[in-house]
Structure formats: structure tokens, C-alpha cells
Copies of this chain bind each other. A is one copy, B any other.
Amino acid sequence: MTDETAPTTAAAEPPTPRGEQTRQHILDTAMRLFRERGYAQTTMRAIAKEAGVAVGNAYYYFGSKEHLIQRFYVDSQAEHRAGAAALLARERDFATRLRGVLHAGIDVLTPSHEFAATFFKTAAEPTSPLSPFSAASSEPREAAIALFRDVLEGSTAKVDEELRPELPELLWLAYMGVVLYWVHDRSPGQAKTRQLIDGAVPLIDRAVGLSRLRVLRPITREVLHLIRTIRH
């Protein structure tokens, strides 16, 4: 897997601790400015100035504002995995694992809720490289799908054999649905998103279990066929 956010001039060299520190400082400053002023209104020049580094230095670490967001995605994804690790090591029940991973994802996103509401219009634009479905977002997307593969493979769930290889991506899509709801959630502390997770997990768990029933197999096939057809 290539690290798209690494500066091309130094891609082969491991970052020095000092370099890593500067990179993190620029990223933190950028995210703060995006929150305070809005993504579109914040220039690389302003980020460099606020971070106290030369503009050229900022560009050395991040080729563009988009690279900053992509790094934010990658970091959030790593944090999500770390937040779910203990649960995934301990639990074997599919519904418990799924519920834990969904809550862990929202835990990581929670400090960014205000930012997400304003940033959403940029990420949701169909042609944006910052869309979670874009080619540029493939690294954090694949990592996220792999996390849902762990949810499934480490569980005792019995799943229809045709559904099994597709299920991790479907679970990730469901998670994207939860995030879409969370962005719009104006209940205090986004409590309704938590209720959505708690209510949806038993239904998903039941649907996954039912997929193996012989009488329902034609429906499973039909759903899978539809998903393959409409995949972009």
C-alpha cells in the first residue's frame, strides 16, 4: 500500500521524529482553522502562517489542502481500529462486535461533529476526491472495510457463503449510512445516532442469520445481484 500523503521528494525516507512532529503540528493547525473558518475559506498560506512555518515547508509535508484531509481520514481510521481493538480481541458474538465497532467509529468522530456539518458539503460532492467513495480515498476506505472484515471473520456468525465475501463492504456501507445520519444529527451529544446503532445492529444480525435459510436464499441472491449491478 502506498502512502499518498507522503511528500514525493522524500517518499523513500522514513520521517524523522522532528519531521513527524512538524507534520502533526501542521495537520492540527489546519484542522483547527478548517473548524474555525471553514474548509473553502482556509488557504495553505494561512495554515503555514498560523503554524509558524514557511509556506514551502507546509507544502513539503502536504501537497494540498486535500492531502491534509486525506491524512485526517487515515489518522481517524487508525484511531477507530485502535478504539475497537480490545473489544475485537475479547468478544466473539457478531452483533456485539459490530455494535462495538460502530460506536467506536462515532467516538472517534465526535470531537469533529461541528466541523463535519460544514465540511460535509465538500466531501459529499460527487466528483470530490474527498468523497469516501473516491479513488483518492481508497486507502482509508480499504482499511475501514478490513475492520468490518475482522468484525465478521473473528465472530461465530454463520453466514450464507455467497453473502460472506460481500458482507464486509455492505457493513461499511451501513456504517457510512450511520455517519450520514450522524452528520445531520442535532440531538444533544448526537444521542439519536447511538440509538440508531443500538436499534439497527439486532436487525442486521437477524438479516445475516436469515440469509442462510433455504427459503430466503433467492432474496439474498436478488439483493446481491442488485448491489453488484448498481455498484459504481
B195 to A222, Cβ gap below 8 A? no
Copies in the complex: 2
Q: Which residues of A185-232 are within 8 A (CB) of B?
A: 185-187, 192, 195-196, 199-200, 202-203, 206, 219, 222-223, 225-226, 229-230, 232
- Count of interface residues, chain A, beta-carbon cutoff 8 Å: 32
In the bound complex, residues from chain B placing their C-beta under 8 Å from that of A187 are 232
A184 to B133, Cβ gap below 8 A? yes
Q: A124 near B: Cβ within 8 Å? A: yes
In the bound complex, residues from chain B placing their C-beta under 8 Å from that of A184 are 126, 133, 232
Say what secondary structure dominates the interface of chain A.
Answer: helix
Q: A117 near B: Cβ within 8 Å? A: yes
Q: A16 near B: Cβ within 8 Å? A: no
Q: A96 near B: Cβ within 8 Å? A: no
A230 to B121, Cβ gap below 8 A? no
Residues of A within 8 A of B (CB): 117-118, 120-122, 124-127, 133, 181, 183-187, 192, 195-196, 199-200, 202-203, 206, 219, 222-223, 225-226, 229-230, 232
Give 10 new A-B contacts, CB below 8 A, not counting A120-B124, A199-B226. A117-B127, A120-B126, A181-B230, A184-B232, A186-B232, A187-B232, A195-B226, A196-B229, A199-B229, A200-B226
